[in-house]
Structure 1
Amino acid sequence: MAMLTLTLATATSGLPTPRTSPKVRLCGYQLAWSDEFNEASIGNWRLDGKRWTAHTPWAGDFGDALFTDPGPESAFTIRDGHLQITARRRPDGKWTSGLIAAADETGAGTGLTEGYFETRIRMSPGSGTWPAFWLFSLTPRSDPRPKIELDALEYYGHDSSGYYASWKVHVPGNKQRERGELQRIPIVPGLLSARYNTVGILVTRTRITYLFNRAVVWSAARPAELDTPLFPLVNLALGSGYSIRNTPDPSVLSVDYVRLYSPVPRGTAAPCVPDGD
């Protein structure tokens, strides 16, 4: 996430927004993996047969809330086929919340080199929250190659009129070589907490395309360093430099599903990706 120091170049203006861009049909893709959250399948630091781990594979936590392990007192609950990640303040004044990552530090996990990644989520209103849906390189923690981060949605609760999308190249031990682009996506104020919305990234051989409710909101060239699969993460962090003094207790991120679609071989018939909005 953005806790790492990066110099980000803002993308060009005049791009379509969710208000003006028509929806697109995603054809030629088949469902490769999904979690519909009918049960909690979350491990601790290792997958151990689960779909998710409860910490990032490389560093653990970030932000102003401790990411909890799975269990009865964790941030994770399943309700009516939705995963709820809840940030709450403990009696000692410290906050806890949660993250799920479809990989662990050994390089085990689920990812795609090319394909469409999508989630359907809803946020609770309030300042100080920092939820995100993002992708990261599926490699062992010890792999010396640059790591790629694609942020489909990075949201700051004090500003309900937009969110951020980005791509970043992280170079272990050499921050001077790190680079990326950042784009603010304007939306109807309050939309992310008023209803569920779909957020997706389409990764092809040459481009990365960002979608909101299946409308294209940004596109960028695929970084040359992206030569490994990418796995998804979803989190409800707090802070990122913004005050959490008035953050609602509790605050909840609700996740309906996470789905990965892979391209079918050329000449193979495949239905279009169902509209999840």
Structure 2
Amino acid sequence: MSRSAPATSSDGRLSCGKAARFFCTPPPPRYRKPVVLRLAHQLSVTRSSMFSHYLPAAGRLLFPCLSLLLLAAPASAQKRLRYRDWQLVWLEDFDTYRDVADMQVRSPWKFTPDTYRTLIGNAREDEYYDQRALELHEGNLHLVARPLPEPLAYRYSVAGRDTVKILHFESGWLSLKPALQPRRDWGDTARWPGNRGVQYGLFEIRCRLGGGAGTWPAFWLYSGPTEIDVLESISSRSFSNNVHWNPSNGPARSRQAEFQARGGADLTADFHTYAVSWTAAAVTFYLDGRRLRTVPATELPTFPAPADIIVNQAVVAGAPFNTWPGLPGQRQSALIVDYIKVYKPRTAR
């Protein structure tokens, strides 16, 4: 039986038809490397092609990442308050006064608000501010909140209308005397009669909160339409800061945020520093030298005028009078102030 001749394709190569596939003589086998060598060669080719393909892409990704890290380093460093950029221009450490009476005579502070003995515009407050609620101990000023012996019917008049507000607590207040006029050598300018305080700068307080149900300690700056609350707290483990803008020709606006100490520390257990950097461009808040947040002027403006510096210990209306402040063996709560400092930018001096 003769074998069928192998068919030839159009390109001259041998082609085995379906019926003759078992009869086609296969081409001589080519030399094949051992399996181990073939795998090693394939791996080397794959690795080299992979590196040649991915290394440029990895480089393209790596360099932007390195650039971001380099750019992020200064931003991370700026989270710490850079005291070397500021010049201390004013310090109140309460170390030079014999007692509160001496402080009343020689210090720049007054111990009650300008017109009334309570903030009449805030229905949430239930305290009567009095010099008796201020005490000096070991160079620290104590603003002491405590229940009054009996409720006080505080009478006042607004726009010719007589009003009575029932108050249940007395407490301490600290603000600047009208005699403390703006310092032009600091770059401050007065904008209306009686305007006092400091315009722009770094304002810092070191204090320990007293705690207790209903206590409302605060450190703030006030200048007409602008109020900057550096510290407000109604809890022993958190506090808030705020920027208020109350223009006469527009709606009131504010930006508030709440924070905790690192690790959720008890703010009544130790002293902490609360600070604000106030410039024409922004308001930046700090706790213990670490930046908390920045409110740019493009988001919420501030009025360019000297601001009064105020420290007070309010008590929220409705606080449990009979058991207040709810601390074991105590019938009072003291906001203890170590110092208050004001800085100006070094470049401005």
Separation (CA, whole Å) in 2 of partners of 1:196 and 1:215: 15
2:280 is paired with a residue whose SS is coil
Matches within 5 A, 1:24-35: 24-35=81-92
After TM superposition, give the deviation of residue 28 of structure 1 in Å: 2.5
State whether structure 2 residue 243 is matched by structure 1 residue 167. yes
Residue 77 of structure 1: aligned partner: 135
State whether structure 2 residue 299 is matched by structure 1 residue 212. no
State whether structure 2 residue 266 is matched by structure 1 residue 191. yes
Residues 120 and 258, structure 1, Cα contact 8 Å, conserved in 2: yes
Give per-residue Cα distances to partners, 1:229-261, cap 9 Å, x unaligned. Answer: 22311111100x553434322111100001101
Residue 136 of structure 1: aligned partner: 222
Residues 237 and 267, structure 2, Cα contact 8 Å, conserved in 1: no
2:149 is paired with a residue whose SS is coil
Residue 90 of structure 1: aligned partner: 148
Residues 160 and 189, structure 1, Cα contact 8 Å, conserved in 2: no
TM-score by length of 2: 0.59
1:126 is paired with a residue whose SS is coil
State whether structure 2 residue 342 is matched by structure 1 residue 260. yes
Matched AA of 2:237: S
Structure of higher CA gyration radius: 2
Structure 1 residues not aligned, in runs of 5+ = 1-20, 138-145, 269-277
Q: How many residues align?
A: 225
After TM superposition, give the deviation of residue 51 of structure 1 in Å: 1.0
Residue 52 of structure 1: aligned partner: 109
Give per-residue Cα distances to partners, 1:113-157, cap 9 Å, x unaligned. Answer: 2210000000123111000011111xxxxxxxx52100011100x
Change (3 A) 1:171 1:24: closer
Residues 220 and 228, structure 2, Cα contact 8 Å, conserved in 1: yes
State whether structure 2 residue 154 is matched by structure 1 residue 154. no
TM-score by length of 1: 0.73
1:191 is paired with a residue whose SS is coil
1:65 to 127, 131, 138: 127
Residue 142 of structure 1: aligned partner: none
Name whichever structure is richer in helix by fraction.
2
After TM superposition, give the deviation of residue 60 of structure 1 in Å: 4.5
Residues 196 and 307, structure 2, Cα contact 8 Å, conserved in 1: no
- Greater RCO between the two (CA within 8 Å, min separation 6)? 1
Separation (CA, whole Å) in 1 of partners of 2:251 and 2:103: 34
Residues 272 and 288, structure 2, Cα contact 8 Å, conserved in 1: yes
Residues 280 and 304, structure 2, Cα contact 8 Å, conserved in 1: no
Structure 2 residues not aligned, in runs of 5+ = 1-77, 120-124, 152-167, 180-192, 326-330
Residue 275 of structure 1: aligned partner: none
Residues 79 and 290, structure 2, Cα contact 8 Å, conserved in 1: yes
After TM superposition, give the deviation of residue 186 of structure 1 in Å: 2.5
Residues 57 and 104, structure 1, Cα contact 8 Å, conserved in 2: no
State whether structure 2 residue 310 is matched by structure 1 residue 233. yes
Matched AA of 1:107: G
Separation (CA, whole Å) in 1 of partners of 2:85 and 2:115: 34
1:180 to 254, 258, 264: 254
2:205 is paired with a residue whose SS is strand
2:343 is paired with a residue whose SS is strand
Separation (CA, whole Å) in 2 of partners of 1:225 and 1:58: 25
1:90 is paired with a residue whose SS is strand
Aligned-residue sequence identity (percent) comes to 24
Separation (CA, whole Å) in 1 of partners of 2:293 and 2:318: 26
